[in-house]
Structure 1
């Protein structure tokens, strides 16, 4: 969350934003809480007031992605899912994920650190999001052809975003976005 000047509203958000920047730049394992505190101009004790550990900071950053998935699911539960509704959802999800590109980069560059972070509440929430998407795709009231197209189009969005930095590094972000949107439209065409 940011105020009108674009600054984070709370110290907690400031910590997350600075940690995100440093974790991307130096890697999770290569960043110390001391560095985060120094960048913020606060003591390590101030960090510990908001987060018990560096792992808790990483988990809080990861949960920002969960919020995107939960928001997408909320939009899908308003009535019957159609290819058009799914396409509109993926279009807006692409915009959301692009605006949170740094968190996706964090995941790409620090996969080992994320694999070590397992908590019951996180795992349960992660499973819930996945299960809800599976339920939508398993809805037998939709033709199988449509459900397969929906699953493949979600894969196109995720693949386009996750591969951007590595595979498409020389391309402009807007160009890749346009091509991903085009691929999704092709996949969802009747």
Structure 2
């Protein structure tokens, strides 16, 4: 009895994978449901069974990267606000971003087409929650900014360094190292005062 549910989930994941592939190749606006169905070698009716619209696919893709961040926020809230916790938050965020890199690339490359179709408020709330976990409210403004900068270094750094030489792994490791240096500096300043 568990097989139909598994098969449905596999089909749904295949649709998301192929849609993302096409969105990255041609852009969101230039990709149709018909093209997605053709690449999958299924009928549009079969595709409609899982996703009625392209926007439904977009929502599922955005959800696929939002869930790990929500889980990370929940984990961080359950931990003591220590340097070790903040360093682990950065590591886990870096790992989640690596797994979701194709979706983040798609979102980054299709910002104009997606404007008004996704909720920027949800993204802002996640960033505020992560920033609150990274900062010590008693720290100076400078050290709070260092803490938030560590978060942004990991979160947006991948896009900023995409054209630099080096492997993706080297760049991710370097971004994480710089972010840790920022959070360590902010923590040292707080501990010293």
Indicate whether the TM-score tops 0.5: yes
Preserved CA contact (<8 Å) 2:131 2:147: no
Partner in structure 1 of residue 149 of structure 2: 152
After superposition, the Cα gap between the structure-2 partners of 1:146 and 1:179, relative to the gap in structure 1 and judged at 3 Å, is: same
Please report how far the alpha carbon of residue 85 of structure 1 lies from its aligned counterpart in structure 2 after TM superposition: 0.7
1:58 alignment counterpart = 58
Question: What are the ranges of 5 or more consecutive residues in structure 2 without an aligned counterpart?
Answer: 1-6, 189-193
Q: In the alignment, what sits opposite 1:29?
A: 29
Task: Indicate if the aligned counterparts of 1:37 and 1:43 stay in contact, CA closer than 8 A.
Answer: yes
Q: Is the 8 A contact 2:24 2:106 kept in 1?
A: yes
Q: Check whether the contact 1:72–1:93 (CA below 8 A) recurs between aligned residues.
A: yes
**Cα distance, 1:128 vs. partner?**
4.2
Deviation at 1:127, TM superposition (A): 5.0
Partner of 1:3: none
> Hey, what's the Cα distance between the residues in 1 that align with 2:121 and 2:49?
26
Q: Which runs of 4+ in 1 moved over 6 A?
A: none
CA distance in structure 2 between the partners assigned to 1:42 and 1:13 by the alignment: 14
**Equivalent position of 1:105 in the other structure:** 105
Gap change, CA 1:56 and 1:162, over 3 Å in 2: same
Alpha-carbon separation, structure 1, partners of 2:135 and 2:183: 17
Bigger Rg over Cα: 2
Give me the CA root mean square deviation.
2.3
Alpha-carbon distance in 2 for matches of 1:182, 1:134: 18
Q: Offset of 1:14 from its aligned partner?
A: 1.2
* Count of residue pairs brought into register by the alignment: 178
8 Å CA contact 1:83, 1:146 repeated in 2: no
